[in-house]
Amino acid sequence: MLGKMKLENVRSLALMILLIAFSLFFMVLQAHTVHASSAITIDSHVEGQSVPVGVERISGTYTKTYNMEIVINGKKIVKVQTDDPNGDDTGIWYYDLDTSNYDGEIELMVKGQDTVSRSNAWSILHVNVDNAAANVPTVSIDYPADGSSVKGNVNIKIAVEAKNNIKRVEVRMNGGAWKEASLNNKHYKYKWDTSGIGDKTSSIETRAIDSRGNVGKSSTTYVKVGEGTNETTSAVDQDRSMWIWEKASYNLLLNPGSRKVLDAMAKDTTTFDQDPITTLYFGVDTFNGMDMLEDEREKVRDFVSWAHDSGYKIHALIAGGTNPPYFGAYTRYHDLAIKEFEKVLNYNISSSSNERFDGVNVDTEPYILPDFKSAYPSVQIQYLDYFEKLMQRRDTAGYNLLVGAAIPRWYDSSSSAENIDWNGDTKWMSQHIQDIADYISIMDYWDVADDSPGIIPDAQSEIDYANLIGKPNSVIIGVETKDIANSGDPETISFREEGRTYMEAELDKVYQAFNGEEAFGGIALHHYDEIRALPSAWGPNGYFWEPPADSTAPSAISENPAATGFDFQSIGIEYGRAFDNTEVESYNIYRSTSSDFTPDDSNLAGTARGLSYTDNGLLPNTKYYYKVAAVDVQGNIGPISDEASAVTDDTTLKPMIIDSMDVSYNESKGNVTLQVVDKDTLEGIQAEVHGRFTHMAGKYISVTTDEKGTAFAMSESVVENWGEIGFEPRRIVADGYYWAQAYDHPHQTSTTWSQEIYTVAEDAHVRGGSYADMNFGADTAIQIKDVSGSNYYDRLGFFKFDLSSFSGNAITSAVLYFYTSASVTNLPVTIAGLSTDSWMENSITWNNQPVLNDSAIIGSIDVSNAGWYSMDVTNFINSQMEDKVASFRLSDQAAKDSLIMIDSKENKNPAYLVIQ
């Protein structure tokens, strides 16, 4: 077995495999790589190879890739095993595929994250297995035809193809009980009496069960009994909407107390001066083996009725019927995706009016697929075909069910979404979707409303197009509150760092911009779990939404934990659901290397929102013990579970840890200093550290430690009077080591601060020569320039700060910040403090500018690249505490004959003082 080969043999095999792979590269397309530094190959098999029934090892190589997974037939995602002899995210991967579960073609797609871009690299392979025992019957309805009209007694004819003997064929109408059909010649038949149904479109579903227990299901046939159902559909206002994914939706379904928390949060309009939630996008996909629309229809009816009685509209939230969900966009998976949609239709048909979903929000995201760009416009067209099929299914059924598409903001601007020729029209991807769907939910993910880029400008063209084609209320603008910075996306697409107060102020601008537009249907928030955890702002003065009071602890978990070792440093834990009179917020996972341990904060391994947890960064050849307890939204902890245990595998890699980490704030940025050491010797290690700042910052950084294992990094600029910034490492890589993060001390940390910030009150520049009597106080830039021997082209800048709100008579520190919008060549900007504050920005000129005392020069800053610059001005500010007004002059005393442009207060980055 590959996993037990000696290391030198593995390396030799890897080299041989790589040579073979390169020779086959141009004959067989096996890899889709998204970044030059990463690559994944599948080398154990060739495309289309036949494999035997049993366990078949699929293997290959990976380069500069991590988080390796394999997708099997678009239905299952599992982690693969990796052999990384040097700990550098390069090595051999393998997965033992049990082919006894499959018959026919098996599609295998291996993916992993690029170490640089954090986006996915891919490789694809198809193999075939001849295994009648796993053959799933193919079932179809030959009569009546889909969309036809029927009356009286209807003889339903069902065709079945299978490799095994058929044990039973069943049919159900309108979601009722399954009825057995009888074999009559080549067809199975069932006589359906439609009398008493009235004018209603009805659903017919069939399934076949073979002698080995394999179950095949048909697509749904919709037929009109009498006149059928002929309801009309038109988009309605959805302000505000909120996405609720399955980790929360199944709680709401199975634990009725969770509804108290949802209702309290959705209707609260005072905590953050926010608008109420009126529409719920409710996740209905299969979760932890449960399919709510099939397995728990009565509970779904109960929840939907509760939502309607409580004043909410509710849309079923589906993805693609596949795993991962975006595979549903591929034509080869359309049948799975459409059946997922049909489940919602069939549920509605089987339910009373108050129990029905008002709509379906379809969040299938084809742009995540590996060939969205490389095969343009193939995937785009496959997605449009898929969505058209969904709408045809709805229209055939004839029921009033709004169908909306969640789409990214760039479907009207990206080169991979332009000039899509589909159904005879060439348009933007967004326009095609708007033509098809009842509404769109734009994932208009920015953390600013009216900047460019920003929420308002990026939604404008969709608004305009909806108005053009006459679709009122059809554009929903979605915003993000999720902590997104761990992915390859920038922190600027989420309000996570800024907090709820800032977000609401920006959303007010969106309302102001679009409330007069007929096409505007409201704002949608992504998503419920993240919104509840979003404070007004991070830091000592921030506050969170407060759930209903509760002192009752959750129940014990319904199934005791089971622990399974995965490799040398990770163990998976699974457990049953707990219940509560309010919301079960999370599950505490406690870990020890001693049996019968007492759980407390000292051995808390982590928390999980769902019913599984992966414990990473453990030690090899070690037995670990686990216990689990549920925690509700008020922090009440339920009973501790029984103990589970598992043992980690062996490795030649040595463990390294973070031995110290300190986060500080220096008036405008967060700073982190940390040390990586050998866990056993505590000696420093030169390592690559990848991580991100947290709370008010979100910048993802990559740094290399020095020979002592020490590294330093800075966050993006965060200028606030008070706040909190933290740091969390995500990956640490060093030759011959692996990161034993479970033993970090600390694993992450943060710091808070309080200071006063004063934005410039007045600013202007003056210019010599023929401009000497002109005022430039309204300009968006402060210009600085000096030409030796003449003042004709010279320009000087002036800042004035009003410090009257400062309560003290002396300060500890003061730092002046200004922003340059363009690069220059090493220009020394001289900053001087003025003894007079009598000048005014709307009247200052070269000829009436204040006189400078030479002793007032504070210092110089070398300016080169665009960005923020700062200077300590503590002594000068203390000298201005009598009148609490401070003025500065900025000049180029070196006469470099270069122009520097500094943002004025009329621009987006005005100068400011930070005082402590």
Distance set, CA 548 to CA 54, 314, 474 (Å): 54, 23, 34
| 897 vs 400, more confident | 400
CA dihedral angle for residue 601, residue 606, residue 610, residue 611, rounded to 10 degrees: -80
Distance of CA 638 to the CA centre of its chain: 30
197 in the same domain as 81:
no
| Structure confidence at residue 489 as a pLDDT band (50, 70, 90) | confident
711 in the same domain as 812:
no
484 in the same domain as 372:
yes
812 in the same domain as 728:
no
The predicted-structure confidence for 451-477, as pLDDT tens digits, reads as follows: 889 999 999 999 999 999 999 999 999
Asked, for residue 230, whether it belongs to a domain, the answer is no
422 in the same domain as 359:
yes
| Residue-number span of the structural domain to which 125 is assigned | 2-129
User: Rounded to an integer, what distance in angstroms lies between the CA atom of residue 364 and that of residue 166?
Assistant: 35
The predicted-structure confidence for 857-911, as pLDDT tens digits, reads as follows: 999 999 988 889 999 999 999 999 999 999 999 999 888 888 999 999 999 899 9
718 in the same domain as 597:
no
**Domain CATH number, residue 722:** 2.60.40
User: Rounded to an integer, what distance in angstroms lies between the CA atom of residue 353 and that of residue 348?
Assistant: 8
pLDDT for residue 194:
97
289 in the same domain as 201:
no
Residue 14 has pLDDT above 50, yes or no: no
pLDDT for residue 854:
65
The residue count for the chain: 916
User: Rounded to an integer, what distance in angstroms lies between the CA atom of residue 364 and that of residue 528?
Assistant: 19
The predicted-structure confidence for 791-845, as pLDDT tens digits, reads as follows: 888 999 999 999 999 988 899 999 999 999 887 777 899 999 999 999 999 999 9
Residue 677 has pLDDT above 60, yes or no: yes
Q: What per-residue string of b and e applies to 157-171 under the rule 16 or more CB within 10 Å gives b?
A: bbbbebbbebeebbb
| Structure confidence at residue 10 as a pLDDT band (50, 70, 90) | very low
The predicted-structure confidence for 328-357, as pLDDT tens digits, reads as follows: 999 999 999 999 999 999 999 999 999 999
Average pLDDT across the chain, whole number = 94
Across 20-24, 418-422, 777-781, least confident range:
20-24
Asked, for residue 642, whether it belongs to a domain, the answer is yes
145 in the same domain as 115:
no
User: Rounded to an integer, what distance in angstroms lies between the CA atom of residue 733 and that of residue 752?
Assistant: 29
- Residues β-bridged to residue 46: none
| Structure confidence at residue 81 as a pLDDT band (50, 70, 90) | very high
**Domain CATH number, residue 468:** 3.20.20.80
Q: Which of 617, 647, 677 is the last residue of a domain?
A: 647
User: Rounded to an integer, what distance in angstroms lies between the CA atom of residue 401 and that of residue 393?
Assistant: 11
Number of structural domains (the chain) is 6
User: Rounded to an integer, what distance in angstroms lies between the CA atom of residue 70 and that of residue 60?
Assistant: 12
597 in the same domain as 661:
no
Asked, for residue 549, whether it belongs to a domain, the answer is no
Asked, for residue 540, whether it belongs to a domain, the answer is no
870 in the same domain as 797:
yes
User: Rounded to an integer, what distance in angstroms lies between the CA atom of residue 548 and that of residue 258?
Assistant: 11
Residue 494 token pair: 């989420």
pLDDT for residue 897:
85
User: Rounded to an integer, what distance in angstroms lies between the CA atom of residue 672 and that of residue 713?
Assistant: 5
775 in the same domain as 717:
no
**CA dihedral sign of residues 126, 129, 134, 136:** positive
**Domain CATH number, residue 171:** 2.60.40.10
Q: Which of 753, 769, 799 is the last residue of a domain?
A: 753
Query: Burial, 270: exposed, middle or buried (Cβ in 10 Å; 0-12, 13-18, 19+)?
Result: exposed
State the pairing for strand pair 722-733/688-695: antiparallel
Asked, for residue 699, whether it belongs to a domain, the answer is yes
**Domain CATH number, residue 826:** 2.60.120
Asked, for residue 556, whether it belongs to a domain, the answer is no
Asked, for residue 236, whether it belongs to a domain, the answer is no
| Structure confidence at residue 488 as a pLDDT band (50, 70, 90) | confident
Q: Which of 712, 737, 753 is the last residue of a domain?
A: 753
Asked, for residue 557, whether it belongs to a domain, the answer is no
398 in the same domain as 294:
yes
